[in-house]
């Protein structure tokens, strides 16, 4: 690491700490209206989040930097950029107990999105359309049309998995299926993680490199990845992956070697400096730790699996899966209390098929715009792979011993485990005996 890189990391770290110490979110005071029927006029600030039974709308009050979560019926016709009047009872979000028996801090989860109040079962009156960003509006329309192309040729629940793999959509899963994903440790495949974004990035780069020079293909690749992240809702995990991919592509363009570990640190510090609340985002925590595990633990454990073949990347895939599992386990136990006995075999049996499924699903969606018969053919191929993935998850998820719940996993033990992992990985480099 050269002096410039060290200086950049130190500056980002100082900015992040200062932001953390002095960052105070502007929490609106609506105490007098809590529990009362209110009429809220605002703009739908994001693409509606379609759930199994309803839609969640992030509505920004006009002329104020205040967001309110408005829940309406699933069949309610409303789009990003609509100015609406929402009528209903204003309430504060409540934390709730998950199926594993742990309390989920829903209040903090919404606060990280600047949402402090909810209107449930709201009545909506649309005042006008197309008042949002033209770029976001176009991206959301493209996204919804792409999903519609997939839904027309792939049946439920395979279509839900298809949309989850490509676009991070998981609102269509019922509670039973969601629990199976969690109990098998495979929920990450529909969380638009760095793995998914990296597959998209490689696909984009290979496509552009066929017709453009390396420099132009990299510039176009960065632009497409940024648009893709915006289109999928710009979650913390997608942003983190996008920053790392951008650093990688800039490195290729400038002829510099790409150090993924440094890119991970820089991405984390950039996001922390911009908004310190990202540290409380569970998806960011798990994504960051899992990526770190893949980067730093995989080389340590690769020799454990010499008996596995190198062909098709089987040994590396097995090693990286184990590395990611080891890295996130302490944090998962602390956050959710769920210990999955089947996570490793379930992930190994499906991860090799994820890039293939994503490729066929993407082709299915694209041909839905161009030539429907080909969309049907690739849709059927996609369906078979998606059916296999869901069958594996269902098989392991329904085993009586699939997982156990640990009600209390202390923070101090979590910290001690990560200190040990840090010592194991970096001990020799730092001159510490291990």
The CATH number that applies at residue 112 is: 2.40.50
CA-to-CA dists, residue 374 to 54, 249, 355, 377, angstroms: 33, 33, 20, 5
Mean pLDDT of the chain: 82
Cα-Cα-Cα-Cα dihedral sign, residues 88, 89, 94, 100: negative
Structural domains counted in the chain: 2
280 plus 198 within the same structural domain = yes
Question: Could you tell me if residue 402 is inside a domain?
Answer: no
Question: Could you tell me if residue 337 is inside a domain?
Answer: no
Higher pLDDT, 101 or 300: 300
Give the pLDDT band (50/70/90) at residue 89.
Answer: very high
Taking residues 49-78, report their average pLDDT: 87
Q: Which domain holds residue 110?
A: 36-132
Question: Could you tell me if residue 209 is inside a domain?
Answer: yes
Give the pLDDT band (50/70/90) at residue 1.
Answer: low
42 plus 121 within the same structural domain = yes
Give the pLDDT band (50/70/90) at residue 181.
Answer: confident
Question: Could you tell me if residue 252 is inside a domain?
Answer: yes
Last residue of a domain, one of 256, 275, 291: 291
- Hey, is 70 helix, strand or coil? strand
Query: What is the chain's alpha carbon radius of gyration, rounded to the nearest angstrom?
Result: 23
Statement: residue 396 has pLDDT above 90: yes
Taking residues 46-58, report their average pLDDT: 87
Give the pLDDT band (50/70/90) at residue 364.
Answer: very high
**8 Å CB contact between 165 and 146:** no
117 plus 205 within the same structural domain = no
Last residue of a domain, one of 291, 310, 332: 291
For residue 82, what is the DSSP state?
A: -
Give the pLDDT band (50/70/90) at residue 393.
Answer: very high
287 plus 196 within the same structural domain = yes
The C-alpha atoms of residue 173 and residue 235 are separated, in whole angstroms, by 19
Give the pLDDT band (50/70/90) at residue 22.
Answer: confident
Could you give the percent of the chain with pLDDT greater than 70? 89
Strands 83-91 and 123-128: antiparallel
**8 Å CB contact between 67 and 59:** yes
Statement: residue 259 has pLDDT above 70: yes
Question: Could you tell me if residue 349 is inside a domain?
Answer: no
Question: 60 phi and psi, to 5 degrees?
Answer: -95, 125
Burial of residue 12 (number of CB atoms within 10 Å: 0-12, 13-18, 19+): middle
Question: Could you tell me if residue 397 is inside a domain?
Answer: no
Question: Could you tell me if residue 29 is inside a domain?
Answer: no
Question: Could you tell me if residue 65 is inside a domain?
Answer: yes
203 plus 127 within the same structural domain = no
The pLDDT score that the predictor gives to residue 82 is 93
The pLDDT score that the predictor gives to residue 324 is 83
Name the least confident of 72-81, 171-180, 198-207, 219-228: 198-207
Give the pLDDT band (50/70/90) at residue 25.
Answer: low
Name the least confident of 11-15, 192-196, 314-318: 192-196
Last residue of a domain, one of 108, 132, 156: 132
196 plus 126 within the same structural domain = no
DSSP-assigned beta bridge partners for residue 241: none
């Amino acid at each position: 690491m050269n002096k410039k890189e060290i200086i950049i990391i130190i500056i980002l770290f100082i900015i992040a700490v200062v932001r953390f110490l002095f960052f105070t979110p502007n929490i609106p005071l609506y105490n007098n209206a809590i529990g009362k029927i209110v009429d809220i006029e605002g703009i739908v600030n994001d693409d509606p989040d379609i759930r199994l039974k309803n839609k969640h709308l992030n509505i920004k009050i006009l002329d104020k930097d205040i967001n309110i979560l408005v829940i309406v019926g699933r069949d309610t016709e409303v789009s990003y950029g609509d100015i609406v009047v929402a009528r209903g009872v204003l309430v504060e979000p409540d934390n709730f107990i998950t199926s594993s028996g742990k309390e989920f801090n829903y209040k903090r989860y919404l606060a990280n999105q600047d949402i402090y109040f909810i209107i449930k079962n709201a009545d909506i009156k649309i005042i006008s359309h197309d008042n949002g960003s033209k770029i976001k509006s176009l991206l959301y329309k493209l996204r919804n049309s792409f999903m519609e192309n997939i839904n027309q040729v792939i049946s439920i629940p395979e279509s839900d998995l298809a949309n989850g793999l490509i676009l991070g959509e998981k609102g269509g899963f019922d509670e039973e299926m969601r629990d199976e994903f969690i109990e098998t440790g495979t929920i990450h495949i529909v969380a638009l993680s760095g793995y998914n974004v990296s597959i998209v990035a490689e696909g984009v780069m290979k496509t552009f490199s066929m017709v453009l020079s390396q420099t132009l293909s990299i510039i176009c690749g960065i632009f497409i990845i940024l648009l893709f992240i915006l289109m999928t809702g710009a979650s913390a995990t997608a942003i983190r992956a996008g920053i790392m991919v951008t650093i990688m592509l800039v490195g290729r363009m400038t002829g510099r070697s790409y150090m993924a570990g440094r890119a991970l640190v820089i991405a984390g510090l950039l996001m922390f400096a911009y908004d310190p609340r990202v540290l409380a985002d569970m998806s960011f925590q798990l994504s960051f730790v899992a990526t770190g595990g893949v980067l730093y633990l995989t080389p340590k454990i690769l020799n454990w699996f010499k008996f596995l073949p190198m062909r098709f990347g089987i040994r590396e895939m097995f090693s990286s899966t184990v590395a990611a599992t080891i890295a996130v386990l302490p944090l998962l136990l602390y956050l959710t209390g769920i210990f999955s006995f089947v996570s490793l075999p379930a992930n190994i049996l499906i991860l090799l098929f994820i890039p293939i499924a994503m490729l066929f699903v993407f082709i299915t969606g694209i041909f839905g715009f161009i030539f429907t018969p080909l969309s049907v053919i690739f849709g059927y191929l996609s369906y078979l792979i998606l059916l296999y993935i869901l069958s594996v998850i269902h098989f392991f998820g329904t085993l009586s011993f699939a997982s156990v719940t640990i009600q209390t996993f202390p923070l101090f033990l979590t910290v001690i485990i990560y200190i040990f992992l840090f010592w194991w990985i970096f001990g020799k480099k730092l001159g510490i005996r291990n």
